[in-house]
Amino acid sequence: MGFREDPQGGQLNTMLDAMEVPSHSRQLLLQLNSQRTKGFLCDVIIVVQNALFRAHKNILAASSVYLKSLVVHDNLINLDHEMVSPSIFRIILDFIYTGRLGDAEPASEPLFGAVLAAASYLQIADLVSLCKKKLKRNGKYCHVRTSGYPGFGSLGRGLRATTPVIQSCFNSTPRPVDIPPGEPVNPLNTHCGELYASIAQGNQLHQHGLCPPERHCSPLCGLDLSKKSPNRPSNQHHSDATESREPPMPGRPDSPPVSASLLTNNGSYKDQTHGYPKLDSSSTPPAPHPEPFRNSVSNSHLRTDSRDLMFDWMKPEPLGNYVDESDREKDMDREEKGESSPLSQQPRYPSIESNEPDDDKSTSEETGSSGDPSPSSNLERYHCNHLYDPESYGDNLYVCIPCGKGFPSSEQLNAHVEAHNEEELYHKDSMEPPVPFLDKTSQSLGDIIRPYRCSSCEKSYKDPATLRQHEKTHWLTRPYPCSICGKKFTQRGTMTRHMRSHLGLKPFACDACGMRFTRQYRLTEHMRIHSGEKPYECQVCGGKFAQQRNLISHMKMHTTGPDGKPKLDFPDSVYAMAKFTADHLGLKQEKAAEILSQTSHFLNDPKTIESLYPLAKFTAEQFGLTQEKAAEVLTQSQHLGSDSRIIERFSSP
DNA sequence: CTGGGGACGGGGCCC
DNA sequence: TGGGCCCCGTCCCCA
């Protein structure tokens, strides 16, 4: 491996030679490789054509000068697939993490040539030397050029990569052509180090069937970041294996030409996510609602594995390096099933103090010095015993402020903080379970409809789960960090959506122009361009817009003068009502005014209840409220006063 | 050059 | 957990 560039390499080599535990480096490498295969602490994604590999920046940087230069600046790096194919890179990655080139058979020369060329490209000197040695041993070595080997870009016969081929786990998936029929592909070995995805840059090429439909694999590998484009008929599958290339997508002039492909790059993402092999359209007719995982009965055991792996990657893991990975995985599996586990009885974090309270409650209770198992007392102990003192933490420089616990990495701190926040919330809940707001003296209809009030702000919610979700927005540390860039989110869904943008996954495709979107809502919005529909009309000037947000920005023109101060284009009555509506619904007054301005023509005759019916109906539609709620808003506005008859009238459609 | 509109990306957050 | 909507911001085009 490429440690030789280290300026202190000589000194380091001396230290390594004098290693007191000879197996240390081997154990370290085994651990790292194990972590890689599980995606654990991986901090970089390498995109090779349409395959994604996860790895550790440090390892790549230590092994390859070229990769080092890439990973310094990015968490997501692209490799030129003309220089290194996914299958070759898989071999190289295996080499980096194992120091082995696999079990070669006599007929491996083309493969070694391809690996040699790619290793040269990636500047992995040791691997270059190893390939040359193997080629020379077989008398085949001559100066290899990148295009000189027929086997280049393919996994050659006779070499078994320890990084398995992910699509092999599905019986229905076409076998990669670069794996000879006789070559066993161990599906159980499938791991999370390799993903396949649609890459935004347009290089989602599917060459020789190497890459399976995304839906096949991305769920296996941690996050199901794919979505189905719901409004694209499934009969548009590009099932013809010989289908010729498609033109670049509009707006993507840089899309590379499509090589011979089993799948097309411009097929709706849904096409690739349905989980149907595209080898023979006649034998595998598309189903109306295909569910690739559920309908693959023969692979049920694999699905279980894949879910484990998904969890393994998703969950910010507390790190206990001394815990065997496989045991830990089983442990997490048990946790998923709600079972107690042997491991959960052990401290998961390396303690920095002998009396370190552990996150694990049972352990805390067993070891707690106070003898008081109550969560609150544990928290107090945290505060009492762990005042921040950097020197006392040694290498654990990442310190959780609330409890003072130190961790050696930000990832471990993040994992801890999430548990911490959950724990505190739990404790808070246990002391103050969210109870509906039931103060009869000042109870309004709003309190009845939204009885769960946030203790930190004035917002209220219909159910405790939503309140709980909202309360996370008040936490100092957001509990869901992006594993690629580290950005933190208050909701897991937001984080996974964010991840899609990293990976360029745009599952929602426009039938008309091929444009792709990360969200269904965007596609719906976009489709109005093609339909010409402009449902958002400015009640001030009559301008129409296809997108609501553009109407909003347009309204700013009406509401804001050149000096930036508010401009009164609305009737005063609308403003008064808008203020109430904004206060009541948590909207900005401007937004409320904008919507109410569209209802203002209903205000001509506010004296009769019947005339208010369409107003309430409209308001309900606009705000997504029930008509009762809309009526409540209207009746409480300054203009109308409270009138129970109105609420009564609107309580039934 | 500037303002306005069209289109879109990303994050927040409620349901 | 995902959908849907809101908000902010950006880029591009055009008058």
If you measure CA to C1', which residue is closest to nucleotide B3?
A557
Give pLDDT tens digits for A331-353. Answer: 333 333 333 333 333 333 222 22
pLDDT over 50 (residue A38): yes
Most confident of A66-75, A436-445, A539-548: A539-548
Q: Taking all residues of chain A, what is their mean pLDDT, rounded to a whole number?
A: 54
Strand C within 7 A of A587 CB: yes
**Torsion angles phi and psi, residue A427, rounded to 5:** -60, -45
DSSP-derived secondary structure letter, A236:
G
Q: What is the pLDDT of residues A125-169, one digit of tens each?
A: 888 888 888 888 777 555 444 333 333 333 333 333 333 322 322
Q: Residue with CA nearest B14 C1'?
A: A466
Q: Is A180:A156 a contact under the CB 8 Å cutoff?
A: no
Point out which residues pair with A195 in neighbouring strands. Answer: A52
Say which residue, A88 or A533, is predicted with more confidence: A88
pLDDT tens column, A366-377: 333 333 333 333
Q: Say whether the CB atom of A554 is under 7 angstroms from strand C.
A: no
- Strand C and A224 CB separated by under 7 Å: yes
- For A570-602, how does the pLDDT look when each residue is reduced to its tens digit (9 = 90+)? 444 455 555 555 555 445 555 555 555 544 444
Q: What is the pLDDT of residue A514?
A: 82
Cα A562 to Cα A73, A575, A590, distances in angstroms: 42, 20, 17
pLDDT for the residue A610:
42
**Has residue A184 got a pLDDT over 80?**
no
Report the distance from CA of residue A517 to the C1' of nucleotide C3 in Å, as an integer.
Answer: 15
pLDDT tens-digit map of A536-576: 777 777 788 888 778 877 877 776 655 555 554 444 445 55
Question: Cα(A134)–Cα(A104) distance, rounded to whole angstroms?
Answer: 9
pLDDT score at A465: 80
Q: Which residue is nearest to nucleotide C6 (CA to C1')?
A: A549
Separation between Cα atoms, residue A149 and residue A109, nearest integer Å: 9
- The string over A593-618, giving b where at least 16 C-beta atoms fall within 10 Å of a residue's C-beta and e elsewhere, is bbbbbbbbebbeebeebeebbebbbb
- CA–C1' gap, A357 and B9, in angstroms: 44
> Is A486 or A582 the better-scoring residue by pLDDT?
A486
Q: Closest nucleotide to residue A457 (Cα to C1')?
A: B13
- A250, pLDDT greater than 50: no
Q: Are A650 and A630 in contact (CB under 8 A)?
A: yes
Under a CB-based contact definition with an 8 Å cutoff, are residues A159 and A104 in contact? Answer: yes
Task: Please compute the mean of the pLDDT values over residues A429-449 and round it to a whole number.
Answer: 51
Q: Considering only CA atoms, which residue is closest to the C1' of nucleotide B11?
A: A494
Q: Name the band, by pLDDT with cuts 50, 70 and 90, for residue A625.
A: low
Query: CA of A254 vs C1' of C13, distance in Å?
Result: 21
* A228-249: average pLDDT: 35
At residue A609 the predicted structure's pLDDT band, cuts being 50, 70 and 90, is very low
Half-sphere exposure of A213 (CA within 13 A, CB side): 28
Is strand C in 7 Å reach of the CB of A466? no
In this complex, which residue's CA is closest to the C1' atom of nucleotide C7? A549
**Between the CA of A407 and the C1' of C2, what is the distance in angstroms?**
33
Mean pLDDT for A501-528 is: 82
Residue range A500-521: average pLDDT?
A: 81
**Distance, CA of A222 to CA of A227 (rounded, Å):** 14
- pLDDT greater than 80 at residue A526: yes
Q: Which nucleotides of B are covered by protein (CB under 7 A)?
A: 4-15
- Is pLDDT of A190 > 50? no
Which nucleotide has the shortest C1'-to-CA distance from A556?
B4
Estimate in Å the CA A587 to C1' C6 gap, whole number.
Answer: 9
Q: In this predicted model, what pLDDT tens digit does every residue of A111-123 receive, in sequence order?
A: 888 888 888 888 8
Percentage of chain A lying above the pLDDT 90 cut: 0
Q: Are A78 and A86 a contacting pair, CB within 8 Å? A: no
Is the sign of the CA dihedral A483, A489, A495, A497 positive or negative?
A: negative
Q: Minimum mean pLDDT among A1-15, A331-345, A492-506: which range?
A: A331-345
Calculate the angstrom distance between C1' of C4 and CA of A389: 47
Q: Does the pLDDT value for residue A493 go beyond 80?
A: yes
pLDDT above 60 (res A477): yes
At A448 the pLDDT is 64
Residue A490 has pLDDT above 60, yes or no: yes
Tokens found for residue A396 = 């654990």
Q: Which helix (H) or strand (E) holds A578?
A: helix A572-585
Interatomic separation, CA of residue A469 and C1' of nucleotide C1, rounded (Å): 13
Distance A519 CA to C2 C1' (A): 11
Residue A170, pLDDT score: 28
Using the predicted structure, report yes or no on whether residue A248 has a pLDDT greater than 60: no
pLDDT band at A82 (very low <50, low <70, confident <90, very high): confident
Q: Is the per-residue pLDDT at A176 higher than 80? A: no
Please tell me the predicted confidence (pLDDT) of residue A608.
33
Each residue of A309-320: pLDDT tens digit?
222 322 222 323
- pLDDT at position A511: 81
Q: pTM score > 0.75 for this model?
A: no
**A39 Ramachandran zone, left/alpha/beta (phi>0; psi -120 to 50):** left
Query: Mean pLDDT, to the nearest integer, of A468-482?
Result: 80
Instruction: Spell out residues with C-beta < 7 A from strand B.
Output: A 450, 459, 461-462, 466, 469-470, 473, 487, 489-491, 493-494, 497-498, 501, 506, 515, 517-518, 522, 525-526, 528-529, 543, 545-547, 549-550, 553-554, 557, 586
Position A21 scores a pLDDT of 84
Query: Within 10 Å of residue A114's Cβ, how many Cβ atoms?
Result: 27
Q: Å from A264 (CA) to B7 (C1')?
A: 26
pLDDT value of residue A529? 84
Range in A50-64, A127-141, A179-193, A467-481 with the lowest mean pLDDT: A179-193
A139: left (phi over 0), alpha (psi -120 to 50) or beta: left
Q: What confidence score (pLDDT) does residue A454 get?
A: 79
Q: Band of the pLDDT at A180, cuts 50, 70, 90?
A: very low
CA atom of A52 to C1′ atom of B7, Å: 30
A388 touches strand C (CB under 7 A): no
Whether the beta carbon of A649 falls within 7 A of nucleic chain C: the reply is no
CA of A520 and C1' of C5: distance in angstroms?
A: 12
Query: Which of A54-58, A280-284, A410-414 shows the lowest per-residue confidence on average (mean pLDDT)?
Result: A280-284
Alpha carbon distance A232, A511 (integer Å)? 7
Asked if the model's pLDDT at residue A611 lies above 60, the reply is: no
* Positions of chain C reached by protein Cβ under 7 A: 1-10
